[in-house]
Amino acid sequence: MPVNLKDIASIAGMSGLYRIVSPTRSGVIIETLDDKASRQVAQSKHRISLLHEISIYTEDAEVTVPLAEVFERIRQKYGQELTVSSKSSNAELFSFIQEIIPDFDRSRVYVSDIKKIITWYGIVSKYVPFTEAEPVPETENTSHAEPALSETNKEPNTKES
């Protein structure tokens, strides 16, 4: 993958993104993805969503786009200077995601999801190194990726922020 999101997480009720450092008896040690890089323990009661498990729904019910691929598409098109922010209008946000994922599912991808993608991209592009994309063999297509916009995959409109 162009960016490794395997140890990057979003935690419900806590702003920002976190790097999973190591497990503990009652949860995991996390490190903030910011200039301070402070560490704390996220207990098992916290709802932790790993970014590498999150995908964006497309109009084809069997195909989703992994978040790492979404970030790579954004990086290739815009670099670190996005033309939108999480405070942009709904029309601008939908136009932005349409440029990145032309066949995204408008009925299951919400404005709040697009805002999270933009916010998360800003953090990831600053604190997680991107690598050169490797060619993906045709048999490893994303069509078997697990659709997810939330930890439970039951409700795509997440309440985390």
Domain of residue 66: give its range: 53-144
Spatial contact of 17 and 51, defined as CB atoms under 8 Å apart: yes
Same domain, 14 and 89: no
**Which of 51, 97, 102 has the alpha carbon at shortest distance from 78?**
97
**Which of 16, 19, 14, 143 has the alpha carbon at shortest distance from 69?**
143
pTM to 2 decimal places: 0.77
Tokens of residue 114, six digits: 């697009």
Same domain, 35 and 59: no
pLDDT, tens digit, for every residue of 60-76?
A: 999 999 999 999 999 99
User: At residue 125, what is the residue type?
Assistant: S
Spatial contact of 149 and 57, defined as CB atoms under 8 Å apart: yes
pLDDT, tens digit, for every residue of 78-122?
A: 988 898 999 999 999 999 999 999 999 999 999 999 999 999 999
Spatial contact of 80 and 125, defined as CB atoms under 8 Å apart: yes
Cα–Cα distance, 104 to 97 (Å, whole number)? 8
Quote the number of domains for the chain.
2
CATH at 95:
1.10.10.1650
Same domain, 129 and 93: yes
